[in-house]
Amino acid sequence: MKRELFVSPDGTDWWSGDLPRQSSDGLNGPVVSLNLAILMARQWHRNGQSDGPVTVWLTEGHYPITFPLEFGPEDYGTMEFKALPGARPVIDGGVTVRNWNANVCNGLAVWEADMTAFLLEFGPFRSLFVNGSRRRRARYPSAEYLWIEEAPDAPPSGNAKTANMDLLRGSYRFRAAKGDVDGIASWEGAEVVMLNRWINERMPVRHFDPDTRIIEMDTRTCLFLRTEFAQESKTIRYWIENVREGLREPGDWYLDAAARKLYYVPCKGETPENCEVTVPAVKQFVRILGDLEHEKPAGGIRFEGITFAHADWAPPCNRPVWWDPYLPEHSWRPRTSFRHFKECNHANPWIDSGGSPQAAFNLPGAIQLEAARDVTITDCHILHVGFYGIGIGEACSTIRVTGNTISDMGAGGVLMDGTDPLGDPRRVTGHSVITDNHIHGGGHVFLAACGVTLVHTEQNDVSHNHIHDMTYSGISCGWMWGLADSVSRLHRIAHNHIHDLGRRGGMSDMGGIYLLGPQPGTFVDGNYIHDITSAAYGGWGIYPDEGSSMLTIENNVILRTGSESLHEHMGRQNVIRNNLFLLGGEGGVRFSRYLRNRWMSFPTEGGEFIRNVVLTDSAPVVRDMLCYQDRNPYAFDCNLYWDRSKGSPSFVMVNQKDTPASTSQSGRKGLAGRRKQGMDIHSIAADPRLRNIDGAVFTIASNSPLHSLGILPLDLSNVGPRPPDKRLTQHNPHPYHRRKTKEHHGHNC
């Protein structure tokens, strides 16, 4: 018999849970406790009283939790959680602050609350929300940034070899500029928050010496402190967080942990009576954890139509372990994901650092899965969280994340990580679907996090997502530097709408879609990427980084990027076909190669760049740093190039041998010069006739010359989330079936 169980905030745990609301005689109705419902579902399965999973129906209302809901192997296939039709239940990890008093701080009228009871039960908190909006932790200065004056431990400037060897050795100290931090009287509990190229560093302050202006930190930086900006007067941006002196602007808050007092500067019109001030008591809502040692998976669980709100963050451990905020340090397992990352970057893996590694991939999710299978999270809303919205760890497969809204994240939307090529093959993660989600408003705490991050995983479908308002990349896929064997393969990254990245200060060295390492059989197809910026450099549309290879990148539209529309860095054997690369700020497309270390000593060869449109505005259409005097490793042909301001397009050619010192600029060339080198024989220089290219929606004129090259028109109406009835019902383990492309007039392109 299929069993149903009803849970309601208006219920009582004395009732049976057989009814969605109280019976007419008042003797029966729904239960009120989620934990009791879980225990009942387990018991029914144990006693053979239910065929298939028990459906736990949640009615309208809030369901407060002060500890995550946990599921293990014994719960496999026992239950599913659904919103009652028409209801939007909220599993809420927050506690409302009510005992406000008026006070004055830094000359401002503030609210003050005694948090003794909360702190004794749950410990310090790092997030605060008012009427459903995240509020800013007090920071100094309250606006803009400070700039490091000097990093005493940095490698000598201009020594590229030393700089690259010391890239991830970091520093425990730096010198503040004169007068910058004079306004801070007490440094107890203060944190340095530093935006260091593609890493967001967070480090507790150990000591400040006012005479030398040296700030010492408890942990070292992840990256050494070298400027990312072209201007010599600018170095590394930072601010000081969690100091009383930072309590300056409406919406700021500060927790004095020693005095156990919370201070809040109200916004205009806010009163204690019309505000619901919430601090999170949990860091995760749900934990589905299998038994890795005995190969007993958890899962077979479904969440549908449920809202998860208010979860906190904590400083993560950056050593190569599976850090868990709810488990003691001695139980953290080794994490092979770090191995190649640390070795390739010459870092000591046993020295902790203050910055989350690339893409903040060492963070968990507010919903965390490990050794889990057959888990479905669909049509849910995950918001106001401190980490990633959903974390998918080792030995996870057949996970479906579809149709959700993930918003207001301390980090990113979905993170998936398994084991590297040298790890236990039984712990490989993949064969999952992340589709039709709306992911936005991320990077509030960990700015280097991405909308979707795939580390060591295989055969995933990441498509039809809408990703925007992030401080770093939209989708990040792959995790190997160079051409070493890789777990990452056979991914489908298709029909995603990605835009407005690099927001709120943002990071550098980023892309709408970032790819790293060999990924055979991976297709990046039909994505619409636009309005990408960065803090200092590297706001690219699609960015195949070091060693990215065996990719097919086709049918994408890239529009309005701060840097080039496409940057392939040390890639090979990639097919780039039938894309529109439009109005890249620094140029159209860029191919570059630089042998950084022993993983990089390979030739770039075997790629194709065919049937693409490259449109710029007073910038080179191609910045080619792969050019050799005798040959070019890429096949360029049947492309359309145009500079809408200057007309005739220009190509920047660089002869690059083995090291930067041996590079020589051979100047700008036109299309005729390209043809003399055997490239772009059938390509043309012509206006592509794109209408309303600066607007929200552009069209291609019927008489556009791109049609004559066999470039297929691209349909942007298919990007982003689909209605429920149009979504795929199951995961295809080899998800991409390539469409036929038409040949053009016998040209072998």
Q: Residues 190-205: pLDDT tens digits?
A: 999 999 889 888 999 9
Cα 309 to Cα 533: distance, rounded to the nearest angstrom? 30
Cα 113 to Cα 94: distance, rounded to the nearest angstrom? 16
Instruction: Name the more confident of 401 and 351.
Output: 401
Q: Could you read off the pLDDT of 204-224 as tens digits, one per residue?
A: 999 999 999 999 999 888 877
Give the residue-averaged pLDDT of 422-450.
95
pLDDT at 134 over 90: yes
Give the residue-averaged pLDDT of 105-111.
95
615 within 8 A of 581, measured Cβ to Cβ: yes
Cα 487 to Cα 426: distance, rounded to the nearest angstrom? 12
A 10 A CB-CB count for 541 gives 32
Cis peptide before 141 (omega within 30 of 0): yes
Report which residue type is found at 144.
E
pLDDT at 748 over 70: no
| Predicted pLDDT of residue 156 | 57
Helix segments in 229-376, DSSP class H: 337-344
The angle subtended at Cα 422 by Cα 418 and Cα 424, nearest 5°, is: 60
User: What does CATH list as the number for 60-93+282-312+336-470?
Assistant: 2.160.20.10
Instruction: Record the tokens describing residue 558, joined without a space.
Output: 């890239």
Closest among 115, 133, 134 to 124, alpha carbons compared: 115
Cα 749 to Cα 747: distance, rounded to the nearest angstrom? 6
Instruction: Name the more confident of 695 and 113.
Output: 113
pLDDT at 354 over 80: no
Q: Could you read off the pLDDT of 493-546 as tens digits, one per residue?
A: 999 999 999 998 889 999 999 999 899 999 999 999 999 999 989 999 999 998
240 within 8 A of 90, measured Cβ to Cβ: no
pLDDT at 160 over 70: no
643 within 8 A of 605, measured Cβ to Cβ: no
Give the residue-averaged pLDDT of 613-638.
81
| Predicted pLDDT of residue 749 | 62
pLDDT band at 732 (very low <50, low <70, confident <90, very high): low
pLDDT band at 744 (very low <50, low <70, confident <90, very high): very low
Q: Could you read off the pLDDT of 590-618 as tens digits, one per residue?
A: 988 755 444 444 555 678 999 999 999 99
| Predicted pLDDT of residue 594 | 55
Instruction: Record the tokens describing residue 190, joined without a space.
Output: 């203060």
Give the residue-averaged pLDDT of 434-462.
97
pLDDT at 159 over 60: no
Residue carrying the six token digits 């060693």: 547
**Domain boundaries of the chain, sorted by first residue:** 1-59, 60-93+282-312+336-470, 94-138+247-280, 146-244, 492-648+689-718
pLDDT band at 365 (very low <50, low <70, confident <90, very high): very high
Q: Could you read off the pLDDT of 310-353 as tens digits, one per residue?
A: 999 999 988 888 999 999 999 998 887 766 665 555 455 556 67
| Predicted pLDDT of residue 318 | 82
Report which residue type is found at 669.
K
Cα 425 to Cα 290: distance, rounded to the nearest angstrom? 16
pLDDT band at 423 (very low <50, low <70, confident <90, very high): confident
Q: Mean pLDDT score of the chain, rounded to an integer?
A: 88
pLDDT at 358 over 50: yes
| Predicted pLDDT of residue 674 | 86
User: Does residue 708 come out as left (phi exceeding 0), alpha (psi in the -120 to 50 range) or beta?
Assistant: alpha
The angle subtended at Cα 586 by Cα 644 and Cα 238, nearest 5°, is: 145
pLDDT band at 165 (very low <50, low <70, confident <90, very high): very low
| Predicted pLDDT of residue 113 | 98
Give the residue-averaged pLDDT of 393-407.
97
Exposed/middle/buried for 566, CB within 10 Å: 0-12, 13-18, 19+? buried
pLDDT band at 469 (very low <50, low <70, confident <90, very high): very high
pLDDT over 70, % of the chain: 88
Please give the backbone phi and psi of residue 117, each rounded to the nearest 5 degrees, phi first.
Answer: -60, -45
pLDDT over 90, % of the chain: 70
| Predicted pLDDT of residue 673 | 86
Q: Could you read off the pLDDT of 300-313 as tens digits, one per residue?
A: 999 999 999 999 99
Q: Could you read off the pLDDT of 11-36 as tens digits, one per residue?
A: 999 999 999 999 999 999 999 999 99
pLDDT band at 50 (very low <50, low <70, confident <90, very high): confident
Q: Could you read off the pLDDT of 634-674 as tens digits, one per residue?
A: 789 999 999 999 999 999 877 654 444 344 445 678 899 88
| Predicted pLDDT of residue 656 | 52
Instruction: Name the more confident of 675 and 370.
Output: 370
Instruction: Record the tokens describing residue 483, joined without a space.
Output: 């051409």
pLDDT at 155 over 50: yes
| Predicted pLDDT of residue 572 | 82
pLDDT at 169 over 70: no
| Predicted pLDDT of residue 68 | 98
Please give the backbone phi and psi of residue 121, each rounded to the nearest 5 degrees, phi first.
Answer: -90, -40
| Predicted pLDDT of residue 600 | 45
Cα 732 to Cα 736: distance, rounded to the nearest angstrom? 8
Cα 98 to Cα 115: distance, rounded to the nearest angstrom? 10
460 within 8 A of 430, measured Cβ to Cβ: yes
pLDDT at 62 over 80: yes
Q: Could you read off the pLDDT of 567-581 as tens digits, one per residue?
A: 998 888 899 999 999
Q: Could you read off the pLDDT of 33-47 as tens digits, one per residue?
A: 999 999 999 999 889
| Predicted pLDDT of residue 88 | 95
pLDDT at 141 over 70: yes
pLDDT at 735 over 60: no
Instruction: Record the tokens describing residue 747, joined without a space.
Output: 């040209």
Give the residue-averaged pLDDT of 100-110.
95
| Predicted pLDDT of residue 460 | 97
Query: Is residue 508 helix, strand or coil?
Result: coil
Task: Annotate 339-357 with DSSP letters as a single string.
Answer: HHHHHHTT--TTS-BSB--
| Predicted pLDDT of residue 582 | 97
Cα 515 to Cα 523: distance, rounded to the nearest angstrom? 11
| Predicted pLDDT of residue 473 | 98
DSSP annotation of 572: B
